[in-house]
Structure 1
Amino acid sequence: MSRFGLVEYGAPVSIVNELAAAMGRGNADAARYLLDAGGRIARQVGLKKSPIEIAGSTASSSRVAGLLHLGRSCELEIVPKFLGSHAGGSGWREDFFFLAMLSKHGHILNSDRIRAQSGEENDLDLLLARAISDMYWERHHRPIRAYKRTREQDFFLEGEVDPLDLRFPDAAGYPQEVIRFSRANRFNAAIHAASRITQRHVRKPSAIVALSRVQRHLGSQPTVGHGHHMRLTVPGRARGWQALTDLSVDVVNGLGVGFNEGAGRAPGFMVATWQLWQDLLTLGLRLGFGSSSVRSEVPFSLGKRLRANGSEGRLNVRPDVTVSSNGFRFHVDAKYKGRIDRGKICAAEADVYEAMAFSAASGGLPVVLAYPQLASTPADPVGTIRIVERVQVPGSGPILAVTVEVRGISRRGSFSRFINEMRGALVDTLQGA
């Protein structure tokens, strides 16, 4: 397997010729493969424009990171901007695999029943185990049933029988086709398979027992193999099961659990980096401070719009996250790009101006601009916050530009440490401010 690498927002790299040689095709075919891959990525992550650009024999990328298969013999790796040339050996593929799962299913994992608890490991495997178990028992009294055509033999006629078989039955009865409204179907099979896969990765005995109960209650189900399974749309009468079914399909496909580089079942993955960063911080704050204390993109009125036709409107601003907890109230704005990643120890003016608007619209609340910590710096414990710059503007609350350490977040127990460390660091930082 040949792997070709790009860095998000990095300089163009001459890979078209090498890709063509590895694929045994011409340069035009190789460029077309890359462009097709860019189109697939754009559709997958919801971009209007392909994140891969081709110029002659060079290629560049923006707005995404991940690992993509370009056929049986080639892979394209797009390293996130904040890691750049320091990505090697950092385990970023496992981390981004983990984060892709959290970003997609954060609304499922963010519940009070499975919230991070002090002194307890809450890695993704354990969160998945709790989510599958809790969501299953929440709706088990209305199981998913589907019509299924089966061939059976019985002396009691329930289905379609060949007329010839009526005259000469087998020793076991009449062969017949019967339609059953059964719990043994592809939806329950996906849930059953996901619970078995998750069970192999968790270590907490109570979680293992809970998943075993789910499997026993589901009973015998069709076999579901690893691989790229399509999204299953449950029947309308069972639409409450859709979230668990989606989660189960992703677990079976390999997202989030047991990512082993080079394993045949590990699919490629690609994420929109800025959205992933915002989702991670939002979920971490909700799990750390509590869902009721954290609100996303709440509008604050900054002023009025006076239009030429005489009408008036509100001028609103929307910080990514607003936290209100135990006397603390502040905004957090996720910033994936900025001057910090170019080696300048300060926030970009545009980010500061935006933070000033957030603070002014909310009566002077503090604003935290959160950037990912660069891989060029020594690794800190996951969740560590470093203050890069403090900005004080008359009429505005304190503005803090910080970096957040996320390297190693996919390791066992690191997600819980990330939540607790980030929460404690934010409280200490704001007390000092």
Structure 2
Amino acid sequence: MHRLVLQELRSAPGAVREIASFSGISEAEVLVHLRELNDKVKSLLGYEDDPITTSSSGALKADGVAGLLRLNASVELEVVPKFLDPASPTWRSDFFLLAVLVKTGHLLLHDEISAGTQDRGDLAMLIARSFLTLYTENERRPIRGYRRGTRADFALDGDVDWETVFLPDPDGFAVSQLELTRQNAYNATLAAAVRILIPEVADVDMQAQLRLLGRHLAPQGAAPAFFPPLPPRHRGWQQAYELASLIVTGLGLNLDGGVFSGPGFVLSTWSAWEFLCEELVRRALPDYTIVGQKQWVLGHRDAEEVYAKPDISPITKGAVPLLLDAKYKTRFGKSPRINAGDLYESLAFLRAVQTDHMLLLYPSVRPPDKLALGEWHLFDQINVDQQIVQGFEIQIQGLARRGGFEELVTGARLLLNSKLGTVGVQ
């Protein structure tokens, strides 16, 4: 299997020719495969435009998507988000941690997980702790269901196979019975995740907790090839089940060697960035109510209200001292600036909310030695009368290292508290 590495928003010259060579097919057939792949990704992410495009010269370019994509039986496309460096040995861990956070909405969000940096451990340790926490929350309501089982017994309690009444087995009559059991595809997935985590975790105490959990789940069969949706009555298990599914499909526990073991994984980069920004603000301002995509009345069309929906609205005592909006589009090799469209949209948001300060948040594409993890760098500011629109780039490379998420939260807290102090809100 040949793996072609692309970085989002950067062209890869000669990629179509390279894929054709490794696949043993024509370049026209490669374009057919790209069309099929684009159709799948668009269906999965709800996109209208192709996320992977090709030029007349045979260059490939990815936009709005990252992850591992199987193009055909011979070639995989590894698409690196624009805010991570493909040359860095840790980018895959950063990407996986962000992906799990977005997919489950839960990783790192428990106080007992994120209370300190001294006992956080590595990525596998972090995932294991999150998984154990999610399991503990629901273990009093186990995932059980009815199934028909067969056993041999001399007690006739159930549907008896009457042929065995005359010729019984040494252990008794064949009896079929409907039983409530924990042996099902859902628990099999949880158990498989535990088996995968144990050798990945270096901490002996954590290994012991995982083994205890494995014995509690046993006996179970192999994890299913397809993960069925949880029944509504077990919705409390949804996050633990989703995390277990990610672990079982191999999305990142063995990334140091540069290998994804899953069949394919794709993430919408701009929506992941928006989710991360909202979570950072929520954790940085615990005394505020953080509302994402809140509808604010901007105007009216006849009797109908017209709304503006900024990404992040921090509310305290009914007031909104400032707004934040997650932005993703930046240009490589050029000085970043707030473009006219973002400015006009920001002014509309400020008018609707009746506040004067807007922060636009962009992922930094600068290396960590130029901008440290968690730092916010002001790259542009536009004043319109009393209203201020500021553009910040935020460094997230190193997210998966020990204490990385706390560094992100600390950086957000320092910057936001300074801004809130400026506008007179403590």
What TM-score range do you get, normalising by the shorter chain?
0.7 to 0.9
1:420 to 397, 410, 415: 410
Alpha-carbon distance change, 338 to 111 in structure 1, aligned in 2, over 3 angstroms: closer
> Structure 1, residues 87-128: CA drift from partner, whole Å, max 9, x if none?
32363333222211111111x347565573255555765664
| Alpha-carbon distance in structure 1 between the residues aligned to 2:354 and 2:11 | 42
- TM-aligned CA deviation for residue 279 of structure 1: 0.9
> What is the match of residue 69 of structure 2?
68
Listed as ranges, the gaps of 5+ residues in structure 2 are none
Alpha-carbon distance change, 200 to 64 in structure 1, aligned in 2, over 3 angstroms: same
1:252 to 244, 248, 254: 248
- Determine helix, strand or coil for the equivalent of 2:329: coil
> What is the match of residue 277 of structure 1?
273
- Determine helix, strand or coil for the equivalent of 2:191: helix
Q: How does 1:94-113 map to 2 (within 5 A)?
A: 94-106=93-105, 108-109=106-107, 113=111
- Determine helix, strand or coil for the equivalent of 1:156: coil
- TM-aligned CA deviation for residue 158 of structure 1: 4.2
> What is the match of residue 117 of structure 1?
115
Alpha-carbon distance change, 365 to 129 in structure 1, aligned in 2, over 3 angstroms: farther
> Structure 1, residues 244-290: CA drift from partner, whole Å, max 9, x if none?
32232122222354434454734432211111111111122223323
Task: Tell me if 1:10 matches 2:10.
Answer: yes
Aligned 8 A contact 1:124 1:415 in 2: no
- TM-aligned CA deviation for residue 175 of structure 1: 4.0
Give TM-score, length-normalised by structure 2.
0.85
> What is the match of residue 356 of structure 1?
347
> What is the match of residue 186 of structure 2?
187
| Alpha-carbon distance in structure 2 between the residues aligned to 1:273 and 1:374 | 14
- TM-aligned CA deviation for residue 333 of structure 1: 0.9
Aligned 8 A contact 1:260 1:266 in 2: no
Task: Tell me if 1:386 matches 2:377.
Answer: yes
- TM-aligned CA deviation for residue 415 of structure 1: 1.7
Listed as ranges, the gaps of 5+ residues in structure 1 are none
> What is the match of residue 20 of structure 1?
20
- TM-aligned CA deviation for residue 332 of structure 1: 1.5
Percent identical among aligned pairs is 30
Q: How does 1:20-419 map to 2 (within 5 A)?
A: 20-56=20-56, 57-82=58-83, 87-89=86-88, 91-106=90-105, 108-109=106-107, 113-114=111-112, 116-119=114-117, 125=124, 128-159=127-158, 162-198=161-197, 200-201=199-200, 211=210, 214-224=213-223, 229-255=225-251, 257-261=253-257, 263=259, 265-290=261-286, 293-302=289-298, 304-305=299-300, 307=301, 311-324=302-315, 329-338=321-330, 341-375=332-366, 378-396=369-387, 398-419=388-409
Aligned 8 A contact 1:154 1:173 in 2: yes
Which amino acid letter does the alignment assign opposite residue 80 of structure 2?
V
Aligned 8 A contact 2:92 2:252 in 1: no
Alpha-carbon distance change, 201 to 12 in structure 1, aligned in 2, over 3 angstroms: closer
Which amino acid letter does the alignment assign opposite residue 348 of structure 1?
N
- TM-aligned CA deviation for residue 388 of structure 1: 0.9
Aligned 8 A contact 1:110 1:287 in 2: no
Alpha-carbon distance change, 430 to 201 in structure 1, aligned in 2, over 3 angstroms: farther
> Structure 1, residues 229-249: CA drift from partner, whole Å, max 9, x if none?
433222344343334322321
| Alpha-carbon distance in structure 2 between the residues aligned to 1:138 and 1:77 | 36
Aligned 8 A contact 1:8 1:63 in 2: yes
Aligned 8 A contact 1:125 1:202 in 2: yes
Q: Report the more deviating stretch, 193-202 or 74-83.
A: 193-202
- Determine helix, strand or coil for the equivalent of 1:375: coil
Alpha-carbon distance change, 360 to 64 in structure 1, aligned in 2, over 3 angstroms: same
Aligned 8 A contact 2:381 2:389 in 1: yes
| Alpha-carbon distance in structure 2 between the residues aligned to 1:222 and 1:36 | 35
- TM-aligned CA deviation for residue 211 of structure 1: 4.8
Alpha-carbon distance change, 254 to 376 in structure 1, aligned in 2, over 3 angstroms: same
Aligned 8 A contact 1:87 1:375 in 2: no
Alpha-carbon distance change, 428 to 195 in structure 1, aligned in 2, over 3 angstroms: farther
> Structure 1, residues 331-390: CA drift from partner, whole Å, max 9, x if none?
221111135x45124221222222222223223242111111113673433111111122
Alpha-carbon distance change, 10 to 138 in structure 1, aligned in 2, over 3 angstroms: closer
- TM-aligned CA deviation for residue 161 of structure 1: 5.2
| Alpha-carbon distance in structure 2 between the residues aligned to 1:432 and 1:206 | 47
| Alpha-carbon distance in structure 2 between the residues aligned to 1:54 and 1:343 | 23
| Alpha-carbon distance in structure 2 between the residues aligned to 1:203 and 1:418 | 25
| Alpha-carbon distance in structure 1 between the residues aligned to 2:126 and 2:258 | 25
CA RMSD, Structure 1 to Structure 2 (Å): 3.3
| Alpha-carbon distance in structure 1 between the residues aligned to 2:118 and 2:152 | 53
- Determine helix, strand or coil for the equivalent of 1:329: coil
| Alpha-carbon distance in structure 2 between the residues aligned to 1:207 and 1:64 | 34
Which amino acid letter does the alignment assign opposite residue 233 of structure 1?
P
| Alpha-carbon distance in structure 2 between the residues aligned to 1:59 and 1:266 | 23
Work out the number of aligned pairs and report it: 420
Which amino acid letter does the alignment assign opposite residue 250 of structure 2?
G
| Alpha-carbon distance in structure 1 between the residues aligned to 2:237 and 2:97 | 23
Aligned 8 A contact 1:65 1:80 in 2: yes
- TM-aligned CA deviation for residue 194 of structure 1: 2.7
